[in-house]
Chains A and B, each alone.
Chain A
Amino acid sequence: MPREREQATDEETSLRHADAPNGIVSGLRLRHISKRYGPAQVLHAVSLDVGQGRLHALLGGNGSGKSTLVKILAGVERAEPGGVIRIADHMIDASRVTPHVARENGLHFVHQDPGIIADLSVADNLFIGHGYATGWFFRISSRRLRRMADEIIERFELNMSPSTRAGDLSAGQRTLLAIARALHPTAESERGILVLDEPTASLPERDAGHLLTALRSFAENGHTVVYVTHRLGEVCGIADEVSVLRDGRYVGCVPGATADEQALIPLILGREVSKQIGHAEVTVAAEPEPVLELRGISVGPLKQLDLTVNKGEILGVAGLLGSGRSTLLKVLFGALQPDSGDVCIHGRPVSFRTPRQAMNAGIACVPEERLETALFPELSVRENLLIASTTDFWRRGWLSSRLEQREAARLIEDTRITHGSQDQPISTLSGGNQQKVVLGRWLRREPQILLLDEPTQGVDVGARSELYQLVRDAARGGAAVLLVASDLAELAAVSDRVVVLRDGWMVHEVAAPPIDPAVLASWAYSDEGQSDDSA
């Protein structure tokens, strides 16, 4: 405890005396922000400077810690003690930020889901977090509300009517509305700090362009804008500075003028990860034997996708959120029906209406978002391991606990789950062990086709390599593996072959190792024009 206090005071002094970079007046400074969830450290003493009135982009892949950093600033999550946030001349202990403190200090947030309520009008949405102007006996005064909304719409150049239903606005307009809602309580003279968490993730390109122009003009009016994104193309040329996070660490800052793909991709990818995971030897048979074939699959973002996965092969799928990679797995697992196209297994056409049908055809799926879509938090480790094969233990009219215990013990040993007992609720296990349970659940069924969606999300590095070893063993045993991962270095290290999806199109394929993650990144991250240049 005393040591931490000391460190904090040191930081305070260093913050007071240090000069801001390039002589820019400092708007927001972070020092030693750390965060751990259970055993997993997601932020390692991140320090970051954002100049007043600058448009500062924060880049990083999935799991780099950028969203956690935003949540700490917003007071939604608490940082570990020892971190300091300085806004203008005000010091805040990073472990003590609350939403109230953040707002008091002029921090405003637009989260990934902007939280615009579709059924309410533009005016209602503008005031919803701030209290409505009320008249006699708490009655909302619509006339005053409308007048105030008109002022805000004019001030933020929103170009919409206060009585429009928010659901009828375009996605881009909704985001702008959320920004206006975050900023309007501040006086026009006051200079707030606006933090946006991936505001363009779900926007069409044209809307994203409008939004960025608007952000640019906020910055020119003196607001400080921190803009979190994973789209490389849109930050190049528009941000004043670009900072990069990777694996919870601050890896560097590039001035906007020189920020381009060549400068940023190495920072985002890093090089250490692939070494830690280690490349397994290639196991594809000399004569490729197609197990899974897709022809002309279209649904959601996916457009006319053709794909073949061979026996014993790990096929990586690279692409950003919304590129169609998760949709692809859902289609294969019967959770979503394609609008058109055919799926063949061993040359025979199949069509699944439920996951059960896909399972019966020998498909297994480890979905993303482990907590909501794979785990049963209250059920024991044993029940979680065996839930997909419950009927196997149904003997003479009873579920045999003896057989279940024996089988669970075998799986726990095979998948190297470290735990207390089979009977403890799975929610008490670490992320890595939970994911081993999920993988073990499916490997027990000896699937012909194994679908993996972000299997290492929230899993520490040690358990990652063990998980991939299990996947590699399954492939060696004859399974065809389809792997989706946002961490491109990891994907390149593990896969035998990688396809890149962008906006639902398959834009590139790397047929054999060694696979260069930078090539994957330039195809996955870039906008159409830029990738054509680099090709």
Chain B
Amino acid sequence: MTVLDEPPPHVAPPNRAMASFRHGRVADILEHYGLILIFGVMIAVFGLWSKTGPVFLSGANLRAIVSNQMVLLVVAVAAMLPLSCGYFDLSPGAGTGTAAIATATIMSRFHQSPALAIICGILVGALIGSVNGLLIAKFKFSAIIVTLAMSTALTGLDNWYTGGGTIGNIPLSMQNFGSLNWLGIPRLAFVVVPLLVLVWYVEDWTPLGRYQRAIRSASRSARLVGIAVDRVLLLSFVSAGALAGIAGVLLCAQSASADATTGPSMLFPALTAVFLGATAIRPGRINTPGTVVGVFFIAFSVSGLTLAGANSWVNDVFDGVALFVAGGLATVFSRQRGARSIL
């Protein structure tokens, strides 16, 4: 009404510019595609650098990177499912290892068909997930403690059973499936890609995925809107176990053997990929495409740094710093939107 009610005209434009930065395009793009931008910059640097470029961007190297990540992709989405409900699962690495050993044992020591071995491997994973899920959903044990205990015990059992060595003598059909290509694409991808699409579909397009996010946001509220919280949790842990079982079968095929160390060593890269992924595509929310980006982000950085002649410790430092930066940015942005941070 009076002149005083209007903001002084010379102050308004910077305010508006600031507001449009905070809520507008630029921040939006940074928030959703920040990780992908860093990813792009990294590929450009390694690709253009004379020391790494020629090899880094060669078809053989790209194919090697992609095919080497097939198992890790499955372990990462396995770890992702309980995390979507806000529960940590530290067992998919050890679950993968145990399933791989079970698969290999059935084929090499008991001379059964690969089909039976595959089914048993997946069942072993699902069984591990069921024990986790029952203890956590029904008996309300702490998820971190249960899955840490499960992971530790399984790794011990695996070491005892393999005697610290490897179980080899895998049938050729299985070996071929793990190492050869169809149409220039690793055969494993014909299992892994549909699996990833399935997980993405369940998480983003079915009531189950919505319920998982609701439970992570507020589990008491979830119960009072009729969500069967215990059942969703149990299902998430069992599915995570079954996915780890599948990862174990793929690992056995890919390495044509099974040992007690490869599976467990995948846990931290998998978790890192999930959290890196939660900072991209749909920020602040654990999501499948983001997890895939996270896995490849780590893989490409490792490849580039190795080609550049860096020591292996540089990889870990690089991934750690990337998680700090991406996680920090996602926290800042999600706080601006008034949401609580997950990281």
- Distance between A424 CB and nearest chain B CB, rounded to angstroms: 7
A397-440 CB contact bits vs B (8 Å, 1 = yes)?
11100000000000000000000000011011000000000000
Question: Are A333 and B224 touching (Cβ within 8 A)?
Answer: yes
- Distance between B310 CB and nearest chain A CB, rounded to angstroms: 38
Question: Are B225 and A441 touching (Cβ within 8 A)?
Answer: yes
Question: Are A388 and B225 touching (Cβ within 8 A)?
Answer: yes
Question: Are A390 and B211 touching (Cβ within 8 A)?
Answer: yes
Residues of chain B contacted by A390 (CB below 8 angstroms): 207, 210-211
Q: Does A354 contact B (CB under 8 A)?
A: yes
Question: Are B224 and A399 touching (Cβ within 8 A)?
Answer: no
Question: Are A356 and B339 touching (Cβ within 8 A)?
Answer: no
A383 to B228, CA, bound (A): 17
Residues of chain B contacted by A365 (CB below 8 angstroms): 224
A527 to B229, CA, bound (A): 41
Residues of chain A contacted by B222 (CB below 8 angstroms): 376
Residues of chain B contacted by A335 (CB below 8 angstroms): 223-224
Q: Does B218 contact A (CB under 8 A)?
A: yes
- Distance between B17 CB and nearest chain A CB, rounded to angstroms: 20
Residues of chain A contacted by B340 (CB below 8 angstroms): 377-378, 427
Q: Does B10 contact A (CB under 8 A)?
A: no
Closest to A428 in B: B338
Residues of chain B contacted by A441 (CB below 8 angstroms): 225
Contact of B225 among A355, A378, A399 (CB under 8 A): A355
Contact of B338 among A333, A379, A383, A427 (CB under 8 A): A427
Closest to B222 in A: A376
Number of A-B residue pairs having CB atoms within 8 Å of each other in the complex: 83
B179-213 CB contact bits vs A (8 Å, 1 = yes)?
00000000000000000000000000111001101
Q: Does A367 contact B (CB under 8 A)?
A: yes
Contact of A424 among B206, B224, B226, B337 (CB under 8 A): B337
Q: Does B93 contact A (CB under 8 A)?
A: no
Question: Are B221 and A374 touching (Cβ within 8 A)?
Answer: yes
Contact of A399 among B206, B217, B221 (CB under 8 A): B206
Question: Are A355 and B224 touching (Cβ within 8 A)?
Answer: yes
Contact of B221 among A356, A372, A424 (CB under 8 A): A372
Given contact pairs A373-B220, A428-B338, A383 touches B210 in the complex (Cβ within 8 A)? yes
Q: Does B214 contact A (CB under 8 A)?
A: yes
A441 to B217, CA, bound (A): 17
A379 to B206, CA, bound (A): 15
A354 to B226, CA, bound (A): 8
Which of the listed residues B206, B210, B225, B338 has the most CB atoms from chain A within 10 Å of its own CB?
Answer: B225
B319-343 at interface with A (beta carbon < 8 Å): 337-340, 342
A394 to B205, CA, bound (A): 9
Question: Are B221 and A391 touching (Cβ within 8 A)?
Answer: no
Closest to A367 in B: B224
- Distance between B258 CB and nearest chain A CB, rounded to angstroms: 37
Q: Does A387 contact B (CB under 8 A)?
A: yes
Given contact pairs A383-B210, A399-B210, A373 touches B217 in the complex (Cβ within 8 A)? no
Q: Does A46 contact B (CB under 8 A)?
A: no
A383 to B218, CA, bound (A): 13
Question: Are B214 and A387 touching (Cβ within 8 A)?
Answer: yes
Residues of chain B contacted by A510 (CB below 8 angstroms): none
Number of interface residues of B (CB under 8 A): 26
A105 to B241, CA, bound (A): 58
Q: Does A375 contact B (CB under 8 A)?
A: yes
A326 to B225, CA, bound (A): 17
Question: Are B218 and A372 touching (Cβ within 8 A)?
Answer: yes
Residues of chain A contacted by B228 (CB below 8 angstroms): 354, 356
Question: Are A356 and B220 touching (Cβ within 8 A)?
Answer: no
Residues of chain A contacted by B125 (CB below 8 angstroms): none
A398 to B202, CA, bound (A): 9
Closest to B209 in A: A399
B110-154 CB contact bits vs A (8 Å, 1 = yes)?
000000000000000000000000000000000000000000000
- Distance between B232 CB and nearest chain A CB, rounded to angstroms: 12
Closest to A387 in B: B225
A342-391 at interface with B (beta carbon < 8 Å): 354-356, 359, 365, 367, 372-379, 383, 387-388, 390-391
A257 to B279, CA, bound (A): 64
A356 to B214, CA, bound (A): 15
- Distance between B165 CB and nearest chain A CB, rounded to angstroms: 47
Closest to A333 in B: B224
A379 to B284, CA, bound (A): 11
- Distance between A181 CB and nearest chain B CB, rounded to angstroms: 30
Which of the listed residues B218, B220, B224, B338 has the most CB atoms from chain A within 10 Å of its own CB?
Answer: B224
Question: Are B223 and A387 touching (Cβ within 8 A)?
Answer: no
Contact of B339 among A373, A399, A425 (CB under 8 A): A425
- Distance between B94 CB and nearest chain A CB, rounded to angstroms: 31
Closest to A358 in B: B226
A57 to B226, CA, bound (A): 42
Question: Are A394 and B223 touching (Cβ within 8 A)?
Answer: no
Question: Are A377 and B214 touching (Cβ within 8 A)?
Answer: no
- Distance between B24 CB and nearest chain A CB, rounded to angstroms: 14
A535 to B227, CA, bound (A): 46
Which of the listed residues A355, A387, A394 has the most CB atoms from chain B within 10 Å of its own CB?
Answer: A387
Question: Are B224 and A376 touching (Cβ within 8 A)?
Answer: no
B222-272 at interface with A (beta carbon < 8 Å): 222-228
Given contact pairs A387-B225, A425-B337, A425-B338, A376 touches B220 in the complex (Cβ within 8 A)? no
Contact of B217 among A354, A356, A378, A398 (CB under 8 A): A378
A394 to B52, CA, bound (A): 50
Given contact pairs A356-B226, A372-B220, A428-B337, A379 touches B207 in the complex (Cβ within 8 A)? no
A191 to B205, CA, bound (A): 65
- Distance between A285 CB and nearest chain B CB, rounded to angstroms: 30
For the A-B complex with A359-B226, A367-B224 known, give 9 more contacts whose Cβ atoms are closer than 8 Å.
A355-B224, A376-B218, A376-B222, A377-B218, A378-B217, A378-B339, A399-B205, A399-B206, A425-B338
Closest 3 CB pairs of A and B: A376-B217, A428-B338, A356-B226
Residues in A lying within 8 Å of B, measured CB to CB:
333, 335, 354-356, 359, 365, 367, 372-379, 383, 387-388, 390-391, 394, 397-399, 424-425, 427-428, 441
Can you give 21 A-B contacts (C-beta < 8 A)?
A333-B224, A354-B228, A355-B224, A356-B228, A359-B226, A372-B221, A373-B221, A373-B224, A375-B218, A376-B214, A378-B216, A378-B339, A379-B213, A379-B214, A383-B213, A387-B210, A387-B227, A397-B206, A399-B210, A424-B337, A441-B225
